[in-house]
Structure 1
Amino acid sequence: MSTIRAHTLLGVNPASEDLKLFIASLSSGKTIDPEVKSYSDAVYFNFYALGLSLLFVPKNGYKPKSGLTRSTLQDTDLALEGLDLYNVPKPDSKIKGTSTRKAELAFSTYPGLPFALELAEGVVDKDGKTLVRPPHLSVDAITMGKDFVACFGEPARKGGGAGPSSGSIGIWCEWTADGVMVEFGGDEAKGPQAWERGKDAVWRVISIFPRK
């Protein structure tokens, strides 16, 4: 099982050798070009086959135009701000908690499973006491809400799950000090009783961002 040290990649530009090595490790060394979506305040690299989306933010006054291609971006004026890892079971999967939003079906499941998701050190609770936690959480395709909470502790922020079971957003939890947000999928993550059932919901997207 590999340890994902995604936080060490934050801040690098798209041409970073470390970033290239990370992507190559997921693609068995094959070259995979991302779909690029550019906006004035953000540029997304979507690696659909790798279940991976990268968010870059412009700096040094750079304002990318919409519709730019990979070769026309100013790499040195972009910095990696976040990574999204996707867990997208097949529609006919028998595993509980596998329904997905239609837009996410374009992504495959992140191929680096299982992996060790690192926790930040020295995180304190609301009373200022340092939390005693394991150094990482082992994440696979069926890791559930209760597994994240047991390892990370109670989330700093959470939301979703409101409204009818059909069409509502799934529950999500954010551990701000760890720079991790998790969206959960399946019927357990939606509807009026989502927070009662959410402990058994399987993760759908893990977002990694700068720790605060």
Structure 2
Amino acid sequence: MSSPAINLQSILRLPLTSPEIASTLRAVNNGEPVPDPDIKSYSDSVYFNYYSLGLSLLYAPQQGYKPKQNLKFEELELEKLVLDSIDVYNVPPAKDSDKKSGKSAFASYPALPLVVERANLKDGDNDPIVRAPSISITATTTGKDLVSTLGEPDKKGGGAGPSNGSIDIWTEWYKDGVMVEFGGDEARGPQAWERGKDAAWRVLTLYKTFPLGLPTDGAGSSESD
């Protein structure tokens, strides 16, 4: 019997001290103890990077809390940190990841397929829009696959400039709280958008949407490797 899909979206906006976050991370690690994260603290955000799990959790300070840089776990005010977004990594094949552009410190997320629940939307007449309640993302899901299930993105960027110096293409769906960066040769260079439909995803960011489908402050940005 296969294990039930892990719902990463269910822990968004929970405080760092929430037992649900701890239990979800343990489930991602197949029930084993979760490795200590690499912590990167800034005045407006704190990243918990779980490299072996292919996850980077961004916590947003609350109640006026402004963490100093380079804090250790025991120096953080844990009760004032709320999970704002989650980066899920899908490491590209070795021929792409070993290039001089830098090999990712993150492993691939081990609990694929990733099930992403979709927002309940209404049309101009305030009637519910009928669409699939969730999508399933595998290691080989491409830009074309995502557009076929999520529709045209609300925002997109990257891909400009020479192949060896451009930013990989990315797309964002505000209403569903999803941002996707793509990897591989197809996702960079002057013709990236023509070829990008065949590029597999590299980083998928989940964040909590507001009723109007707007992203939270700071969501949709990945912690650099």
Q: TM-score w.r.t. structure 1 length?
A: 0.89
Farther off after superposition, 164-173 or 47-56: 164-173
For structure 1, list consecutive stretches of 5 or more residues without a partner in the other structure. Answer: none
Q: 1:145 to 1:12 in 2, by over 3 A?
A: same
Corresponding residue for 2:199? 201
Cα distance in structure 2, aligned partners of 1:129 and 1:189: 37
Match of 1:209, as an amino acid? Y
Structure 1 equivalent of residue 130 of structure 2: 132
Q: Structure 2: give runs of 5+ residues left out of the alignment.
A: 214-225
Residue 15 of structure 1 is matched in structure 2 by: 17
Q: Alpha-carbon deviations, 1:32-75, whole Å to 9, x = none?
A: 11001111111000000000000001111111111111122111
RMSD: 2.2
Q: d(CA) in 2 for partners of 1:107 and 1:66?
A: 22
Structure 2 Cα separation of the partners of residues 99 and 121 of structure 1:
40
1:132 Cα deviation from its structure 2 partner: 3.5
Question: Does the aligned pair in 1 maintain the 2:120–2:128 contact within 8 Å?
Answer: no
1:70-81 counterparts in 2 under 5 A?
70-81=73-84
1:104-152 per-position Cα deviation (integer Å, ceiling 9, x unaligned): 6100000111122211122558x98854321222111110001100000
Number of aligned pairs? 207
Which residue is equivalent to 1:189? 187
Q: Aligned with 1:62: secondary structure?
A: coil
* Cα shift at 1:4: 4.2
Q: Structure 1 runs of 4+ off > 2 angstroms?
A: 1-8, 97-104, 127-133
* Greater displacement, 165-174 / 131-140: 131-140
- The amino acid across from 2:151 in the alignment is G
What is the one-letter code of the residue matched to 1:61? G
Q: How does 1:46-195 map to 2 (within 5 A)?
A: 46-92=49-95, 102=101, 105-122=104-121, 124=123, 131-195=129-193
Q: What letter matches 1:44 in structure 2?
A: Y
Alignment TM-score, normalising by the size of structure 2? 0.84
Q: Is the CA contact 2:97–2:103 (under 8 Å) kept in the aligned structure 1?
A: no
